[in-house]
Structure 1
Amino acid sequence: MKNSSALIMALPSESKGLFEQQNIDVHYSGVGKVNAAFKAFEVIQKTGCKTLINLGSAGSSTFKAHELVEVSQFVQRDMDVSPLGFEVGVTPMDEHYPAAIDLEPYFLELNQGICGTGDSFETSQPKVACNLVDMEGYAIAKVCKKLDVRLISVKYITDGADDTAHLDWEENLLLGAHKLLGLYLNLK
């Protein structure tokens, strides 16, 4: 797996330098869907990887803080063209790519979750059905789907996606980096 894969994370603060200390090449996308899509495309083109591994942080009012959750599906929580008759999360005139992107499970021992991606730091209940939230995953998943590259995504739950989320996120990143590194080192 590791030989034909590449690793992408949003920010160096999510890895805390632990991956680099193990000589693991990490590609950082930056925050948000545009940055994530661009970086995912660039990484796939440069490395020729068959699998892209996305590790990072997420908020959830369903899963417990400090839990690792594998994403089984990505949806867009901020795509809202409902005034034109489209369901929230659906990109208009994009028939070839579904509003929900399913991922094949890899870590059967982890809980599976539906991740709502949006260009905002979520502090309330999203408009789409999801049980964790991030800011990059859907964009990475869509690029992988278009380029026929497998995506494996695991999120460390840093916060409850509530009004203290920004404080909890910052405080929990180091423990998350340790857990994500442990998971990565055990990949086959």
Structure 2
Amino acid sequence: MSDLALIMALPNESKDLFEQAGIQVHYSGIGKVNAAFKAFEVIQKTGCKTLLNLGSAGSSYFDAHALVEVMTFVQRDMDVSPLGFAVGVTPMDHDHPADIHLETYFQHLPNGICGTGDSFEIGLPKVPCHLVDMEGYALAKVCKKLDVRLISVKYITDGANDSAHLDWEENLLLGAQKMLALYQHHFV
């Protein structure tokens, strides 16, 4: 895909394997604000029609080391419930629903709902979801607003529990290897 741009949150997630293979990666940094800014910048600079997001996620639903394609993104940390809004709903944002659905690309991967939030989740999110990350919803929203397709695949590094911070770091290299193999098989 010549109109494809690859975005990941951190160089930790690629372990320099993509760069060693000659694949350009755009890194957003951690969190929704950084992800939204970088996604907008990448789309404007490259003119891509598809933004591919590869990265890590926690999950108590999927097994560790699985690759999961995100079919829907939700905000797990948007909580304006004291004003009568459902958790996950951004008030007065009539142009975009709280759930951002993606067209799936990979037939062989399991699909899941990813809850994005500006916190490292180690418990049950307030919004129902199968996996958690810190950037995906922002990427999805920018892509929807700019009419760019988003494909998002997450490597499950941890169980989103008390040991998540240890498991995340320990499992990043295997995740980078699996994501690189997926990329090379389908996009090179």
The TM-score normalised by the length of structure 1 is 0.99
Describe the SS at the equivalent of 1:186: helix
Match of 1:46 in 2: 45
- Structure 2 Cα separation of the partners of residues 16 and 119 of structure 1: 23
- Structure 2 Cα separation of the partners of residues 91 and 186 of structure 1: 38
Q: CA RMSD in A?
A: 0.5
Match of 2:10 in 1: 11
Match of 2:159 in 1: 160
Match of 2:56 in 1: 57
Amino acid at match of 1:35: N
Match of 1:173 in 2: 172
Say whether residues 1:90 and 2:82 are aligned partners: no
Describe the SS at the equivalent of 2:151: strand
The TM-score normalised by the length of structure 2 is 0.99
Amino acid at match of 1:76: Q
Shift of 1:187: 1.6
Gaps spanning 5+ residues in structure 1: where?
none
Shift of 1:186: 1.2
Match of 1:36 in 2: 35
- Structure 2 Cα separation of the partners of residues 142 and 108 of structure 1: 23
Describe the SS at the equivalent of 1:122: coil
Amino acid at match of 1:60: S
- Structure 2 Cα separation of the partners of residues 50 and 108 of structure 1: 21
- Structure 2 Cα separation of the partners of residues 32 and 4 of structure 1: 25
Shift of 1:169: 0.1
Amino acid at match of 1:52: L
Describe the SS at the equivalent of 1:93: coil
State the aligned residue count: 187
- Structure 2 Cα separation of the partners of residues 186 and 148 of structure 1: 26
Q: List per-residue Cα deviations over 1:82-135 (Å, max 9, x = no partner).
A: 000000000000000110000001001000000000000000000001000000
Describe the SS at the equivalent of 2:186: coil
Describe the SS at the equivalent of 1:119: coil
Match of 2:68 in 1: 69
Amino acid at match of 2:134: M
Q: List per-residue Cα deviations over 1:123-156 (Å, max 9, x = no partner).
A: 0000001000000000000000000000000000
- Structure 2 Cα separation of the partners of residues 21 and 182 of structure 1: 13
State the identity %. 78
- Structure 1 Cα separation of the partners of residues 186 and 40 of structure 2: 23
